[in-house]
């Protein structure tokens, strides 16, 4: 498949594995990139810039394909010196960065001077337009179905994706609710140049998340996520477990964030990811978990998604149009 995204980033397939905190390691990023998509390491998974530098070097040793580094700004501990992380990214020779959270505007001059392509994640068209104005190269726009933070507007991808593509001149990547070739074909039909998937790549063999968490996602349906942090104006979509239910209960009684902080701590999430205990902490997954039925390698996943999308486009959709034309001709 060739789109503006594949041409811009030098990748074979218009698929991105979005940055996932504590999941976006060199191992997963390299496996995704080796499969022809774009793997993304997550900078803040590494507690120091020096460790990020070493992880980037390790990723480069595992793949000779393009990969990106995610830098999420302003949604984690304030003591992080983002300038130090940006220095490492720039000096490492990484050529693609995925930014999220706050605007990447403070870092754009440095990224551009280093020849880095910037993909910025947004949840609203107005944010995407601002990102385009400050010079990002690609917008990845998250529909309401996504894992993590879908924003406060609750607009699903079927509306949000074409709204973004008709408003923007730069390539748009569809994110949220996508797990297979049907999602890729749909995103392309809605005007996007590719897709971003988190939950689907979480459930692959190369993901370092515990096998029991992967099986829990395979077994879930599309109703088994829950929105939390709504009362704090920082809505998050997570797997519906005892932690999510407790947080929602505290919010319903007017509790403040200090009352849920320990429940949703990064340490508890890490415990869930590594121990396999689905109730150990907040487990970030999207509604697309309801579409996931297996645990493939990244290579198998990318091949299947691209192959299925091609068949949907070239066989099913073309045949529908062709049969419609024959029927119209006969009727005439």
- What confidence tens digit (pLDDT) does each residue in 30-76 have? 999 999 999 999 999 999 999 999 999 999 999 999 999 999 987 65
Q: Is residue 315 part of a domain?
A: no
Q: What is the pLDDT of residue 332?
A: 60
**Are residues 54 and 90 located together in one domain of the fold?**
yes
This prediction has a pTM of: 0.94
- Position 160 in a domain: yes
Same-domain pairing of 191 and 282: no
Answer yes or no: do 217 and 267 share one domain: yes
52-66, 73-87, 178-192: least confident range? 73-87
| Shared domain check, 109 and 217 | no
Q: Is there a domain that residue 272 lies in? A: yes
Same domain, yes or no, for 28 and 111? Answer: yes
Same domain, 19 and 147: yes
The answer to whether residue 296 sits within a structural domain is no
**With bands split at pLDDT 50, 70 and 90, how would you rate the model's confidence at 80?**
confident
What is the structure's pLDDT at 321?
78
Confidence of residue 95 (pLDDT cuts 50, 70, 90): very high
- Does 282 share its domain with 230? yes
Residue 220 belongs to domain spanning = 211-288
The count of C-alpha atoms lying within 13 angstroms of the C-alpha of 64, restricted to the half-sphere facing its C-beta, is 0
103 and 49 within one domain? yes
Average of per-residue pLDDT values in the chain: 94
272, 125: one domain: no
Non-local CB neighbours of 142 within 8 Å, separated by 6+ positions: 121, 122, 123, 148, 149, 150, 151, 175, 176
Report yes or no on 206 lying in a domain.
Answer: no
144 with 261, same domain? no
pLDDT the model gives residue 320? 83
The answer to whether 227 touches 152, Cβ cutoff 8 Å, is no
Instruction: Extract the tokens encoding 178.
Output: 């996508």
Which is higher by pLDDT, 41 or 22? 41
CATH number at residue 20: 3.20.20.70
What backbone torsions phi and psi does residue 150 show, to the nearest 5 degrees?
Answer: -85, 5
Domain count, the chain: 2
Pair (130, 66) in one structural domain: yes
* pLDDT at residue 316, as a whole number: 83
Question: For 278-289, what is the mean pLDDT?
Answer: 96
- For the segment 194-250, what is each residue's pLDDT rounded down to a tens digit? 999 999 999 999 999 999 999 999 999 999 999 999 999 999 999 999 999 999 999
Of 197, 222, 254, which marks where a domain is finished?
A: 197
User: Does residue 320 lie in a domain region?
Assistant: no
Q: Are residues 10 and 138 in the same domain?
A: yes
Is residue 128 assigned to a domain? yes
């Amino acid at each position: 498949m060739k789109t503006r995204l594949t041409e811009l980033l030098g990748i074979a397939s218009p698929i991105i594995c979005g940055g996932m905190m504590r999941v976006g390691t060199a191992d997963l990023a390299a496996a995704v990139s080796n499969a022809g998509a774009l793997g993304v390491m997550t900078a803040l998974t590494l507690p120091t810039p020096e460790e990020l530098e070493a992880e980037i070097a390790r990723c480069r040793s595992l793949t000779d394909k393009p990969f990106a580094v995610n830098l999420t700004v302003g949604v984690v501990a304030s003591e992080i010196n983002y300038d130090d992380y940006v220095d490492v990214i720039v000096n490492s020779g990484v050529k693609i960065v995925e930014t999220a959270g706050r605007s990447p505007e403070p870092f754009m001059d440095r990224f551009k001077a280093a020849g880095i392509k910037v993909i910025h994640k947004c949840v609203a068209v107005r944010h995407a337009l601002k990102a385009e104005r400050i010079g990002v190269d690609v917008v990845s726009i998250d529909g309401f179905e996504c894992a993590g933070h879908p924003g406060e507007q609750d607009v699903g991808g079927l509306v949000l994706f074409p709204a973004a593509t008709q408003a923007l001149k730069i390539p748009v990547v569809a994110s949220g609710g996508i797990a297979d070739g049907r999602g890729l074909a749909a995103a392309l039909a809605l005007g996007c140049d590719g897709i971003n998937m988190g939950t689907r790549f979480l459930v692959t063999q190369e993901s370092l998340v515990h096998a029991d968490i992967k099986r829990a996602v395979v077994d879930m349906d599309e109703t088994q996520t829950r929105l939390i942090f709504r009362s704090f104006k920082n809505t998050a979509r997570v797997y519906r477990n005892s932690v999510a239910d407790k947080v929602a209960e505290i919010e319903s009684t007017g509790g403040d964030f200090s009352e849920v902080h320990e429940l949703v701590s990064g340490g508890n999430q890490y415990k869930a990811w590594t121990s396999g205990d689905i109730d150990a902490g907040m487990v970030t997954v999207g509604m697309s978990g309801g579409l996931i039925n297996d645990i493939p390698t990244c290579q198998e996943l990318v091949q299947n998604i691209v192959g299925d999308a091609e068949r949907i486009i070239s066989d099913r959709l073309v045949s529908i149009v062709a049969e419609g034309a024959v029927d119209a001709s006969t009727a005439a």
